């Protein structure tokens, strides 16, 4: 479920999808994207200008994940920006077409991601910054799906995974992310954990806003949290 949902890799779907399976899939989200993270890291090593390498790396992650999270970011921005009415906002998000708010948000986020990664490449730590960012941004999914966070709709991906991750398991994922990121080569030991903490904080702020406005999470909200976390982590790792 983790690989099939979060990447474009063709895998056999699980025979049963219940809350236990969904919770484990969200906890294993960073493991599912190790391949795309490695690919993006390798792209940053190409003999090209830093900004070009950054754009190709960001694009490779989007391609390897079918643009799922970028689509969620655009839909969430449209929903939050179009109406204060919960039902109206959810309907706008469900339609899937991108309005001016969603497009502007996508453009801004991609510009910041590419610019920040170009800064990390110029500073000589493009690969660890890329890998740390991709993995950390997927780690936040377990925190977004802990037991007390409801679904905004009775069906859809959000309803499947909402409240499916036990709080202790989400805490373990967070602590593992902090610990492993401290070993990122080419970075001071504290730089990786700082980026992880910033990613969680920014994703958590967006999650809080969406729960208040929409009544819970949707698949689009999860995608928006991933992209928000990735942007925050890249900014934190942009330079020395």
Using CA atoms, how far apart are residues 152 and 86, in angstroms rounded to an integer? 9
Question: Which SS3 state, helix, strand or coil, does residue 146 take?
Answer: strand
What letter does residue 151 receive in the DSSP assignment? Answer: B
Q: Where is mean pLDDT largest: 37-41, 92-96, 154-158? A: 37-41
Tokens of 29: 């989200």
Mean pLDDT over 97-102 rounds to 88
Note whether 169 and 207 are within 8 A (CB).
no
Query: What's the predicted TM-score (pTM) here?
Result: 0.95
Neighbours of 49 (CB within 10 A): 12
Query: pLDDT digits over 144-166, tens only?
Result: 999 999 999 888 888 899 999 99
CA-CA distances (angstroms) from residue 111 to 106, 115, 203, 236? 8, 6, 18, 15
Q: Which residue has the tokens 């941004």?
A: 137
How would you class 148 by CB atoms within 10 Å of its CB: exposed for 0-12, middle for 13-18, buried for 19 or more? exposed
Query: pLDDT digits over 185-238, tens only?
Result: 999 999 999 999 999 999 999 999 999 999 999 999 999 999 999 999 999 999
Per-domain residue ranges of the chain: 2-236
Cα 154-159-165 angle, rounded to 5 deg = 145
Nearest of 96, 204, 217 to residue 152 by alpha carbon: 217
């Amino acid at each position: 479920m983790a690989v099939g949902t979060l990447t474009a890799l063709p895998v056999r779907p699980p025979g049963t999808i219940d809350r236990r399976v969904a919770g484990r899939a969200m906890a294993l989200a960073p493991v599912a994207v190790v391949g795309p993270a490695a690919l993006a890291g390798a792209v940053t090593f190409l003999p090209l200008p830093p900004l070009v390498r950054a754009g190709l790396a960001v694009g490779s992650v989007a391609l390897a994940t079918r643009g799922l999270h970028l689509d969620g970011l655009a839909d969430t921005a449209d929903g939050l920006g179009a109406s204060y009415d919960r039902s109206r906002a959810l309907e706008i998000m469900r339609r899937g077409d991108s309005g001016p708010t969603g497009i502007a948000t996508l453009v801004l986020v991609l510009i910041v991601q590419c610019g920040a990664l170009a800064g990390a490449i110029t500073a000589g730590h493009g690969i660890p910054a890329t890998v740390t960012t991709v993995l950390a941004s997927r780690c936040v999914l377990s925190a977004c799906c802990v037991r007390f966070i409801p679904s905004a709709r009775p069906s859809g991906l959000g309803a499947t995974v909402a409240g499916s991750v036990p709080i202790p398991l989400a805490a373990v994922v967070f602590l593992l992310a902090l610990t492993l990121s401290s070993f990122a080569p080419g970075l001071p030991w504290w730089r990786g954990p700082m980026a992880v903490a910033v990613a969680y904080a920014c994703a958590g702020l967006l999650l809080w806003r969406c729960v208040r406005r929409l009544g819970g999470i949707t698949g689009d909200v999860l995608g928006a949290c991933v992209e928000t976390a990735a942007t925050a982590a890249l900014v934190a790792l942009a330079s020395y």
